[in-house]
């Protein structure tokens, strides 16, 4: 019995080790037992799920929705509530409960909710653009890799297609396309993860303007590199295989994918550069901080009616936290490419670097099973520059 338990423990440990390896290397295949272990580990009882979800909610609120605005708003509301409570403690004629909540509902919460909707829509547009961009990159690579180079079984190192009739190397050519696409994805990810330059401070303060000008230089340089180097390299490579005999209709399709890719790159750059209305964000920030203080008479009256100052202060804190949490929800969605600091951001490094890399490397392994493993060191810039320089003289 003990030997059987030890054997099962060893097998489970080996499965867990292979699952971890699969998480690090997408080429690692899992068998049915390992798949079942993953599925079963994700299933929990209703009570355990309730506890886990409640704990996670509290952590999110504390670490992601509480901010310096929350502290300022709570401090102002509590201070004014305590002052009014004791200032009019002996005045029986004082009544602070006549304040209307209409201002809070329509002038503050409604614009904040609209801003959250606009910010979330921008995130969805960015996700669609990334999906199209990755699909275009895959189609461009596969078109360059499999065009009439070898027999359909593509299992021999000495093909009978155009590779056998010319000195043109399909593997070398498609590897240049692959490394161009990978390097472009990496540089685009670096562009999209630059610090935000659309806050109010970047338009008003001297330090903010200086920060804006310096980051704008990086933004333009990165965009110029993506277009002038990588997109142009793809275009010239297409013309290269046209010289080898690629039909015009197939070249036109490849150029359409290049056009679509450039369009999606510009969409992502515009989402990064242009945000929801700055005036609306400034309005939301200001009133999320100061409005609970204006409702302090109401909170003080609640404390007097219930003969409990702590209850009135709790009401004050809940109102301040609700308003500033809504504003923080707007702020964290303003830049959808910062998954390292927010929960709902897009992991752009994973989408445009790791996942794109895995997809293209898997495609290369399928199209060229006899080829050596590709060296993924960032040498494409030198190769592309040489290609561009040579193209100027042809």
Find the helix packing angle between 248-273 and 170-192, rounded to 10°.
20
- Give the pLDDT mean for 112-126: 86
Average pLDDT, the chain: 78
Q: What is the pLDDT of residue 20?
A: 55
Q: What is the pLDDT of residue 264?
A: 94
Q: What is the mean pLDDT of residues 60-71?
A: 84
User: Which carries the bigger pLDDT value, residue 250 or residue 199?
Assistant: 250
Q: What value does the mean pLDDT take over residues 251-272?
A: 92
Confidence class for position 380, pLDDT limits 50, 70, 90: very low
| Lowest-confidence segment of 82-86, 208-212, 256-260 by average pLDDT | 208-212
% pLDDT > 70, the chain? 78
pLDDT, residue 1, reads 47
| Residue that wins the pLDDT comparison between 369 and 376 | 369
- Highest-confidence segment of 53-57, 121-125, 388-392: 121-125
Q: Which helix (H) or strand (E) holds 187?
A: helix 170-192
Mean pLDDT is highest, among 81-90, 94-103, 216-225, 274-283, for: 81-90
Q: How far apart are CA 279 and CA 264, in angstroms?
A: 28
The pLDDT of residue 99 is above 70:
yes
Confidence at residue 156, expressed as pLDDT on a 0 to 100 scale: 47
* Residue 203 to residue 207: CA distance in whole angstroms: 10
Measured N-to-C along each axis, helices 110-146 and 355-367 cross at an angle, to the nearest 10 degrees, of 20
Check: CB of residue 103 under 8 Å from CB of residue 290.
no
pLDDT in tens, 153-198: 444 444 445 554 556 677 888 889 999 999 999 889 888 888 888 7
355-367 and 170-192 helices, crossing angle to 10°: 170
The pair of three-digit structure tokens given for residue 110, joined into one six-digit string:
């409604």
**Residue 388 pLDDT more than 60?**
no
Residue 133 has pLDDT above 70, yes or no: yes
Residue 385 has pLDDT above 80, yes or no: no
What pTM does this model have? 0.76
């Amino acid at each position: 019995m003990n030997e059987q338990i030890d054997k099962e423990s060893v097998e489970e440990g080996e499965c867990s080790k292979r699952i971890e390896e699969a998480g690090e290397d997408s080429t690692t295949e899992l068998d049915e037992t390992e798949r079942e272990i993953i599925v079963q580990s994700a299933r929990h009882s209703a009570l355990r799920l309730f506890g886990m979800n409640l704990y996670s909610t509290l952590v999110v609120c504390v670490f992601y929705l509480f901010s310096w605005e929350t502290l300022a708003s709570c401090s102002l509301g509590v201070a004014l509530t305590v002052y009014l409570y004791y200032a009019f403690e002996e005045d029986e004629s004082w009544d602070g409960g006549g304040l209307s909540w209409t201002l809070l509902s329509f002038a503050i919460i409604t614009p904040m909710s609209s801003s959250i909707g606009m910010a979330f829509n921008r995130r969805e547009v960015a996700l669609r653009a990334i999906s199209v961009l990755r699909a275009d990159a895959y189609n461009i690579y596969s078109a360059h890799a499999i065009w009439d180079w070898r027999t359909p079984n593509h299992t021999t190192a000495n093909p009978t297609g155009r590779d056998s009739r010319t000195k043109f190397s399909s593997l070398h050519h498609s590897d240049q396309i692959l490394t161009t696409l990978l390097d472009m994805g990496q540089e685009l990810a670096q562009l999209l993860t630059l610090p935000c330059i659309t806050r109010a401070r970047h338009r008003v303060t001297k330090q903010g303007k200086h920060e804006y000008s310096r980051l704008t230089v990086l933004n333009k340089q990165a965009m110029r590199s993506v277009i002038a180097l990588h997109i142009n390299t793809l275009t010239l490579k297409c013309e290269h295989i046209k010289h080898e005999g690629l039909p015009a209709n197939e070249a036109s399709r490849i150029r359409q994918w290049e056009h679509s890719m450039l369009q999606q790159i510009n969409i992502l750059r515009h989402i990064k550069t242009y945000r929801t209305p700055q005036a609306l964000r400034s309005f939301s920030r200001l009133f999320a901080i100061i409005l609970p203080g204006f409702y302090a008479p109401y909170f003080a009256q609640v404390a007097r009616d219930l003969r409990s100052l702590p209850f009135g202060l709790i009401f004050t804190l809940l109102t301040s936290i609700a308003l500033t949490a809504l504003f923080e929800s707007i702020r964290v969605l303003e830049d959808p490419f910062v998954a390292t600091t927010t929960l709902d951001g897009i992991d752009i490094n994973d989408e445009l670097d790791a996942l794109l890399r895995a997809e293209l490397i898997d495609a290369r392994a399928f199209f060229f099973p006899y080829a050596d493993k590709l060296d993924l060191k960032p040498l494409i810039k030198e190769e592309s520059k040489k290609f561009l320089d040579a193209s100027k003289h042809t």
